[in-house]
């Protein structure tokens, strides 16, 4: 479990912060009331996501606790009752995550959001592109303080290569003035393969004037930073751009996923499935379309506690189904108890074995619902004859599903064009 250390001599404030961190994030919280207690905790175990520190403790009135925590390589978030320019500069020079004023209990919400961000950051890749090694190191240090996964490139050409190796990169910091490919050209090149809704680009330059900002934006950047920048501004811009990508991803997920089972929905299946099928057809790769239907599904709802039991079966089945396929395949719920799979690079023989194993797995994996155990079986229809039309393959898979049902259910039927040539549709 993710752990957070709180070092705070005010019991009421420590209790308030602990309550929100536990309830809102589900983290384990360890509280130390002073420097000595914090030292004892860290000597036993320093595996904390972050430490929330009171700047002025009875046995550490000058911020000694900050140095203690950083010495154990634990990211530090500092609570302070007062703030001056010199104190702010001292914070950033020590490479803390952030500081939070103690002037309002509402600031605890900011701390909770900051901790949630820190938990995500190790899986968040940020690419720093600049021909200056010292600048890349300085920016990389800022990003590492917030636990980001940092990538570096010394030129536009190298940046494109790194992006090719790390297509899941979330944000790119692009310097303008670089030999060869400048920042504008690199931004335009990145945008050929990465949209603004999946990858944020922040242009950076130390040149005077305001002409570079609009040119970066027009080239495809999401934002712009002028060097030298304050650490606070840097972190705020990075966070805002990443949160925007996450909000877009959430909206897309709501539009593409089935609300109950969390596999893809019918709309996404037909849209993305048609594109995937066309790609596989051009490459000459085999493809399988499967229609899967729960047998006698109505009995599940009729014999147990209403639709809740049926929902539990649908969720369990979807989870099991999704776990057996690759990210490149498409698993969707396209009707009430009907699911569809589009799997690439699987021959007909392989598909028959795979879905027969799945059929047996569903049959032998009961679903717990309260005091009851729900057992169910499925019928499956397969089409492995690649067509230019997804509708054609679905039609044949649906015919095979109907055949499975008519032959007694709980079986797999594979479309064979030679055998089925004379059979009416």
- Catalytic residue annotation: 337
- Report the DSSP beta bridge partners of residue 339: 292, 333
Measure Cα distances from 41 to 47, 77, 192, 318 in Å.
10, 17, 51, 43
Which residues touch 112 (CB under 8 Å, ≥6 apart)? Answer: 20, 21, 24, 25
DSSP, residue by residue, 107-136: HHHHHHHHHHHHHHGGG-EEEEE-S-HHHH
CA distance between the termini of the chain: 55
Interior angle at CA 358, CA 355 and CA 364, nearest 5: 150
Measure Cα distances from 95 to 63, 92, 137, 215, 395 in Å.
14, 5, 14, 32, 61
Contact present, 291 and 338 (Cβ < 8 Å): yes
Q: Which of 328, 331, 309 is nearest to 318 (CA)?
A: 331
Distance, in Å, from the CA atom of 52 to the CA atom of 50, rounded to the nearest integer, reads 7
Contact present, 151 and 169 (Cβ < 8 Å): yes
């Amino acid at each position: 479990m993710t752990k957070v250390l709180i070092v705070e001599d005010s019991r009421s404030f420590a209790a308030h912060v602990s309550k929100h961190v536990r309830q809102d994030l589900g983290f384990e919280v360890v509280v130390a009331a002073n420097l000595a207690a914090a030292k004892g905790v860290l000597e036993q175990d320093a595996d904390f996501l972050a430490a929330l520190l009171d700047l002025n403790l009875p046995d550490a009135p000058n911020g000694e606790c900050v140095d203690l925590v950083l010495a154990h390589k634990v990211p530090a978030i500092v609570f302070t009752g007062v703030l001056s320019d010199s104190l702010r500069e001292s914070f950033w020079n020590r490479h803390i995550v952030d500081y939070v004023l103690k002037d309002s209990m509402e600031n605890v919400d900011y701390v909770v959001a900051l901790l949630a961000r820190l938990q995500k950051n190790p899986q968040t890749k940020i690419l720093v592109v600049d021909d200056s090694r010292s600048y890349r190191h300085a920016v990389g240090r800022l990003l590492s303080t917030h636990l980001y996964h940092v990538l570096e490139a010394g030129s536009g050409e190298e940046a494109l290569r790194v992006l090719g190796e790390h297509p899941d990169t979330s944000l790119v910091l692009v310097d303008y003035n670089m030999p060869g490919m400048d920042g504008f050209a690199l931004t335009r090149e990145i945008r050929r393969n990465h949209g603004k809704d999946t990858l944020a680009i922040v242009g950076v330059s130390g040149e005077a004037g305001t002409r570079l900002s609009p040119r970066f934006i027009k080239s495809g950047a999401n934002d712009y930073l002028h060097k030298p920048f304050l650490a606070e501004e840097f972190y705020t811009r990075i966070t805002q751009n990443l949160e925007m990508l996450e909000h877009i991803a959430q909206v897309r997920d709501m539009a593409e996923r089935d609300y109950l089972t969390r596999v893809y929905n019918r709309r996404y299946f037909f849209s993305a499935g048609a594109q995937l099928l066309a790609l596989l057809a051009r490459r000459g790769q085999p493809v399988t379309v499967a229609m899967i239907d729960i047998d006698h599904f109505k009995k599940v709802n009729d014999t147990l506690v209403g639709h809740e039991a049926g929902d539990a079966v649908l969720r369990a089945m979807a989870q099991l189904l999704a776990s057996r396929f690759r990210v490149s395949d498409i698993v969707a719920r396209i009707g009430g108890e009907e699911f569809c799979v589009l799997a690439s690079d699987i021959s007909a023989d392989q598909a028959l074995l795979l879905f027969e194993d799945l059929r047996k797995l569903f049959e032998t994996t009961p679903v717990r619902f309260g005091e009851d155990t729900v057992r169910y079986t499925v019928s499956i229809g397969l089409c492995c004859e690649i067509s230019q039309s997804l509708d054609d393959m679905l039609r044949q898979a649906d015919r095979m599903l109907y055949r499975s049902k008519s032959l007694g259910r709980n079986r797999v039927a594979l479309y064979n064009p030679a055998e089925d040539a004379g059979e009416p549709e």
